[in-house]
């Protein structure tokens, strides 16, 4: 596999140069083995559950199909830099602009398909994290009240946890959250992953510490650890790790439905794994 990756990143093959702005330029290369690399300037890379890739750089979001072919670009200069995106639902992407406390939803063409959600108008001015939820809902983590709040598609509040520091009796500092299969996973690197149901009731804490982000599939949590892709079964309390190609220089990985995305300094590699 390492040899095939060397072919992917260093050898020839078909290439298509994609340049759309001074800030963002991508080059796609695919080897005969089906490995794909996208050379581009980006800050964060994402992959959805059908294999599409999304590269985020400042205010620009670029989408590539599972084949590695460039598909679409989105940017909204009025809202500034994109903080995070949630690609859990490929048909409705959640885009969060923390500086302006605003949420936007895009369809699978990267076209706006809803009005901007202004969190300040909903009474929340210090929202640190946002993620998508089931049935077109969304979650926010309000730093001021240390609270998780869930809103429906009409931006109506439908669930809340109350002050988590009081409920959990822990000094949490969340940096990432994601909903999966009716549960919200809230990551606090110093203390672990806290799990809540869709009504905001606390379920349990998973003792995985020091994580920046992760993916969830059924009972398995996937994450990067020391150049490896690791899986942790949070029901059986079992961890297994597998070395990823070029793991020593990979700055991040994402694993979704049997596909591994490896994020390097100036490129993204995608392969079956």
Put simply, whether the predicted model's pTM sits higher than 0.85 gets the answer: yes
Residue 33 has pLDDT above 80, yes or no: no
Percentage of the chain modeled with pLDDT above 70:
88
Q: What is the CATH number of the domain that holds 102?
A: 2.120.10.30
The one-character DSSP state at 244 is P
d(CA 151, CA 127): 13
Q: Give the mean pLDDT of 31-54.
A: 88
229, 255 in Cβ contact below 8 A? yes
Q: Give the mean pLDDT of 66-83.
A: 95
Residue 35's pLDDT band (cuts 50, 70, 90): confident
Residue with tokens 């110093």: 190
Q: Does residue 98 sit within a domain?
A: yes
Residue 20 has pLDDT above 80, yes or no: no
Residue 154 has pLDDT above 80, yes or no: yes
Q: Does residue 51 sit within a domain?
A: no
Residue 29's pLDDT band (cuts 50, 70, 90): low
Structural domain harbouring 232: 78-272
The one-character DSSP state at 2 is H
Residue 2's pLDDT band (cuts 50, 70, 90): very low
CA gyration radius for the chain? 19
Q: Give the mean pLDDT of 186-192.
A: 97
Residue 34's pLDDT band (cuts 50, 70, 90): confident
Q: How many CB atoms lie within 10 A of CB 35?
A: 21
Q: Which two tokens stand for residue 41?
A: 């300037």
The domain tally of the chain equals: 1
Query: CA separation (Å) from 79 to 44, 74, 108, 129, 271?
Result: 18, 12, 20, 17, 34
Query: What is the structure's pLDDT at 211?
Result: 97
Residue 28 has pLDDT above 60, yes or no: no
Which of helix, strand or coil describes residue 132? strand
Residue 68 has pLDDT above 90, yes or no: yes
Which of helix, strand or coil describes residue 242? strand
204, 168 in Cβ contact below 8 A? no
Q: Does residue 61 sit within a domain?
A: no
Q: Does residue 40 sit within a domain?
A: no
Q: Does residue 172 sit within a domain?
A: yes
Q: Does residue 104 sit within a domain?
A: yes
Q: Does residue 217 sit within a domain?
A: yes
Q: CB under 8 Å to 3, separation ≥6 — which residues?
A: none
Q: Exposed (0-12), middle (13-18) or buried (19+): which is 224, by Cβ within 10 Å?
A: buried
Q: Exposed (0-12), middle (13-18) or buried (19+): which is 239, by Cβ within 10 Å?
A: middle
Q: Give the mean pLDDT of 20-35.
A: 50
- Tally DSSP H helices, then E strands, for the chain: 2, 26
The one-character DSSP state at 92 is S
Q: Give the mean pLDDT of 197-219.
A: 96
Q: Does residue 5 sit within a domain?
A: no
The one-character DSSP state at 61 is E
Q: Give the mean pLDDT of 173-189.
A: 97
């Amino acid at each position: 596999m390492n040899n095939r990756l060397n072919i992917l990143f260093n050898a020839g093959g078909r290439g298509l140069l994609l340049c759309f702005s001074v800030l963002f330029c991508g080059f796609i290369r695919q080897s005969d083995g089906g490995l794909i690399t996208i050379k581009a300037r980006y800050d964060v890379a994402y992959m959805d559950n059908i294999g599409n890739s999304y590269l985020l750089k400042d205010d620009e979001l670029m989408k590539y199909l599972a084949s590695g072919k460039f598909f679409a670009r989105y940017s909204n200069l009025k809202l500034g830099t994109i903080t995070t995106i949630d690609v859990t639902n490929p048909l409705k992407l959640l885009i969060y602009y923390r500086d302006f406390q605003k949420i936007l939803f895009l369809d699978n063409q990267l076209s706006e398909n809803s009005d901007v959600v202004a969190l300040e108008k909903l009474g929340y001015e210090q929202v640190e994290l946002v993620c998508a939820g089931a049935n077109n809902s969304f979650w926010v983590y309000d730093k001021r009240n240390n609270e998780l709040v869930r809103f429906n598609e009409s931006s109506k509040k439908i669930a809340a946890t109350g002050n988590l520091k009081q409920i959990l009796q822990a000094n949490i500092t969340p940096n990432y959250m994601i909903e999966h299969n009716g549960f919200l996973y809230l990551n606090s690197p110093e203390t672990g992953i806290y799990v809540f149901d869709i009504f905001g009731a606390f379920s349990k804490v998973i003792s995985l510490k020091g994580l920046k982000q992760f993916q969830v599939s059924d009972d398995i949590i996937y994450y990067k650890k020391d150049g490896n892709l690791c899986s942790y079964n949070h029901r059986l309390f079992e961890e297994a790790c597998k070395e990823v190609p070029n793991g020593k220089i990979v700055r991040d990985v994402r694993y979704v439905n049997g596909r591994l995305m490896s994020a390097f300094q100036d490129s993204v590699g995608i392969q079956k794994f």
